[in-house]
Chain A
Amino acid sequence: MADISGQAGVSAPKVRIGQRGRLADFTRRLFREKPLGAFGAVMCLVFLVTGLFADFIAPFGYNEMNPIDRLKPPSVEYFLGTDQIGRDVFSRIVHGARTSLIIGFSAAFFSIIISCVIGITTGYFRGKFDMLVQRMVDAWMSFPDLVVVIVAVSVFGPGMWQVILVLSLLYGIAGSRIVRSAVLTVKENDYVHAAESVGVSTIRILLRHILPNIMAPIIVLFTTRLAAVILVEAGLSFLGLGVPPPAPSWGGMLSFEGRSYMFQAPWLAIMPGLAITFVVYNINMFGDALRDLLDPRMRGSGLKQKLDV
Chain B
Amino acid sequence: MNYTSEAPPLLEVRELKTYFRSDGGIVKAVDGVSFTVDAGETVAIVGESGSGKSVTALSVLRLIPNPPGEIVSGQIRFAGTDLLELSEPEARKIRGDRIAMIFQEPMTSLNPSLTIGRQVGEPIEIHRKSLAKVVREKCVDLLQKVRIPDPERRVSSFPHEFSGGMRQRAMIAMGLACEPELIIADEPTTALDVTVQAQVLDLLKELTRESQAALVLITHDLGVVARYADRVNVMYAGKIVETGTARDIYNDPRHPYTLGLMNSVPKLNNGEKAPLEPIEGQPPDLSNMPPGCSFEPRCPYSTEHCRSEQPELSLISGKHAFACWVNVKDVS
Contacts and interface: CB of A to CB of B under 8 A. Distances in A.
Interface of A: 1, 3-5, 7-8, 11-12, 15, 17-18, 127, 189-191, 193-201, 204, 208-209, 212-213, 215, 300-302
A5 B169 CA distance: 14
B293 interface: no
A198 B95 contact: yes
A201 to B, nearest CB: 7
Contacts of B112: 191, 213, 300
B83 to A, nearest CB: 13
Given A1-B147, A12-B150, A197-B101, A191 B108 contact: yes
A93 to B, nearest CB: 40
B303 to A, nearest CB: 43
Main secondary structure of the interface of B (DSSP, over half): loop
B197 to A, nearest CB: 13
A81 to B, nearest CB: 50
Contacts, number: 104
Nearest to A5: B149
B156 interface: yes
Q: Chain B interface residue count: which class?
A: 35 or more
B161 interface: yes
Contacts of B94: 199
Given A4-B165, A197-B61, A300 B158 contact: yes
Contacts of B123: 198-199
Identify the interface centre among A191, A198, A301: most chain B CB within 10 Å of its CB. Answer: A198
Contacts of A196: 63, 95
A288 B48 CA distance: 47
A224 to B, nearest CB: 22
Ordered nearest first, which 8 A-B pairs have the shortest CB separation?
A198-B96, A199-B95, A212-B113, A199-B96, A190-B108, A191-B111, A197-B101, A190-B109
B305 interface: no
Given A7-B163, A212-B113, A194 B147 contact: no
Contacts of B100: 197-198
Given A1-B147, A7-B165, A199-B97, 18 more contacts: A4-B147, A11-B161, A12-B153, A17-B157, A193-B109, A194-B103, A194-B109, A194-B174, A198-B101, A199-B127, A201-B92, A204-B126, A208-B114, A209-B111, A213-B111, A215-B113, A300-B160, A301-B160
Contact of A1 (B109, B111, B126, B199): B199
A80 B154 CA distance: 57
Contact of A197 (B96, B149, B157): B96
A199 B109 CA distance: 15
A199 B163 contact: no
Interface string B115-131: 00001001100110000
Interface string B65-98: 0010000000000000000000000001111110
Contacts of A17: 153, 156-158, 161
B320 to A, nearest CB: 32
Contacts of B174: 194, 198
A200 B149 contact: no
Contacts of A12: 149-150, 153
9 contacts: A3-B195, A127-B67, A190-B103, A195-B111, A198-B95, A198-B174, A199-B95, A213-B111, A300-B158
B15 interface: no
A199 B156 contact: no
B286 interface: no
B307 to A, nearest CB: 39
Contacts of B213: none
Identify the interface centre among B94, B97, B161: most chain A CB within 10 Å of its CB. Answer: B161
B110 interface: yes
